[in-house]
Amino acid sequence: MCAFLQRLSPYTSMSVDHDYSPPASEPASPCIGVCVIHAQTQLCEGCYRSLDEITHWWDYSTAQKQALLAEIEQRLERIVDGTFFD
């Protein structure tokens, strides 16, 4: 279980199915299990999503997930090239 969900576990009865695989047409979560929010960017250092995006991932439609994945790629490019805060 990722660190973010471990911190939530005392506050929720949510169970996580670690064997869950989304349907082939459904984009997989970008989570890689490195759940640390960067103080400056306020993004997860593993998947580059905000806390809001992480918590709403399972509620998003396929189109919303695909749009977010495209946005994450653009974010990462801006972080790498130093223009994220411009």
pLDDT tens-digit map of 19-40 = 556 677 899 999 999 999 999 9
- Provide the 10 A C-beta neighbour count for residue 12: 8
* Residue 82 Cα to chain centre, angstroms: 21
50 vs 52: CA distance, rounded Å: 5
pLDDT computed for residue 86 by the predictor:
85
Cα–Cα distance between 6 and 14 in angstroms, integer? 11
DSSP state of 3: H
Report d(CA 72, CA 60) in Å as an integer: 15
Confidence (pTM): 0.70
**Dist CA 55 CA 29 (whole Å):** 11
Q: Distance between CA 81 and CA 20 in Å, rounded?
A: 35
- Joined together, the tokens standing for residue 82 give 């130093």
43-66: pLDDT as tens digits: 999 999 999 999 999 999 999 999
User: Where are the domains positioned within the chain?
Assistant: 57-86
